[in-house]
Amino acid sequence: MGDLLTLVAKRLGYGLLTLLVVSILIFFAVELLPGDTAQAILGQSATPDTVAALREELGLNQPAYIRYFDWLFGAIRGDLGVSAIPPHQPVISVIGPRFTHTLFLAAYAAVIAVPVAISLGVIVALLRNTVFDRVANVLTLTSISSPEFFLGYILILIFAVKIPIFPALATVPTDVSFGELLYRTFLPALTLVLVVTAHMMRMTRAAIINLLASPYIEMARLKGVPPWKVIVKHALPNAWAPIINVVALNLAYLVTGVVLVEVVFVYPGVGQLLVDAVSKRNFPVVQAVSLIFAATFILLNLAADVGSILTNPRLRHPK
């Protein structure tokens, strides 16, 4: 247990160091953008005095490194700054409701995608080199190769235009019931499911097939153990480490890679907020959302490492 805690502490330290480097890249990449932020926010008709007042209000007159440390220490305290767009709300209050919507959409897609992908991966491993296996490979490659926005538009065309079953826009009123919320967000969730299911299914299939060549699997077969029991009882438990890794990476994608999907379906999540903030040069929101995405990705990678160690005795007790 002590070795595991030490390893987790090391990975967490590496994650914090990575997040620090990413925060530097995020802040100074925004600084390198051309143009005056205050002028871009106010427009070309703004007077020099108005622009100067806004620059003073946003702290743009200070050197970049001072503003970076102010922003970093504020982020550590939970203060991500103030939105550059009137009425200048705190960034955390702007992001909070949107991030909740994004987490809901990611959880909705994950609840469908994870069990479906693992089940299909086990089935195609059992039926490898059959017609079903070939068809599944073609479909998953097609899904992986198709951009998210393309899949989204195809689903809108089929299920909102040709067969009007679901709404094309995933609007979320404040007083909507849970069932209505699931109905309104089904198409964006299905788009994410089609993308991540393909990755997880192929990884599960590859992990299972790789283990089927192991000596203990051959011994189980020689003893007359049924094929499904060989996979479920013997192969699958030892394949959890790579499967957990790919599941965690795809969960990170569900949270951080939803920008295009939210834009296509006009879903009020943090991805849509990021696009709006970029178009309006609302850089405090852009920096905060990018930092939250990076922290989420690093945290889920840490969870994947810990999960792999817990499910693999060879990693828990290295020689």
Specify if 56 maps to a domain.
no
Is 301 within 8 Å of 15 (Cβ atoms)?
Answer: yes
- Write down the pLDDT at residue 319: 53
CA geometry: angle 287, 106, 292, nearest 5 deg: 20
Closest residue by Cα to residue 173 from 162, 161, 164, 184: 184
* Tokens found for residue 145: 């190769």
Range of the domain at 170: 101-281
* Tokens found for residue 294: 């990076």
| Dist. CA 119–CA 85, nearest whole Å | 47
Using alpha carbons, list the distances in angstroms from residue 293 to 75, 95, 103, 222: 14, 12, 12, 49
For residue range 73-84, what is the model confidence (pLDDT) as tens digits? Answer: 888 888 887 787
State yes or no: cis peptide before 48, omega within 30 of 0: no
- Bridge partner list, 90: 82
The model's pTM: 0.82
**Three-state DSSP class for residue 109:** helix
- Write down the pLDDT at residue 108: 92
| Dist. CA 110–CA 103, nearest whole Å | 10
Specify if 297 maps to a domain.
no
Q: Which residues of the chain have pLDDT under 70?
A: 1-4, 35-37, 39-44, 57-58, 87, 311-319
- Write down the pLDDT at residue 249: 81
- Write down the pLDDT at residue 315: 59
174: left (phi over 0), alpha (psi -120 to 50) or beta: alpha
Closest residue by Cα to residue 304 from 11, 74, 6: 11
Closest residue by Cα to residue 135 from 68, 196, 201, 75: 201
Specify if 163 maps to a domain.
yes
- Write down the pLDDT at residue 186: 92
- Bridge partner list, 58: none
**Three-state DSSP class for residue 271:** helix
Q: Please say whether the dihedral angle defined by the alpha carbons of residues 253, 256, 259 and 265, taken in this order, is positive or negative.
A: positive
- Please name the residue that has the structure tokens 């990975």: 11
Q: Which amino acid is at 277?
A: A
* Tokens found for residue 116: 């479906």
Specify if 174 maps to a domain.
yes
CATH number of residue 226's parent domain: 1.10.3720.10
Q: Please compute Rg for the chain using Cα positions.
A: 24
For residue range 100-140, what is the model confidence (pLDDT) as tens digits? Answer: 899 999 999 999 998 998 888 888 887 888 888 888 888 88
Going by the DSSP 8-state scheme, the letter that residue 230 receives in this structure is I
Specify if 220 maps to a domain.
yes
Under 8 Å CB-to-CB from 156, ≥6 apart: which residues?
168, 187, 264, 265
Specify if 240 maps to a domain.
yes
Specify if 71 maps to a domain.
no
**Three-state DSSP class for residue 90:** strand
Residue 29 CA from chain centroid, whole number: 22
Structural domain count, the chain: 1
| Dist. CA 266–CA 271, nearest whole Å | 10
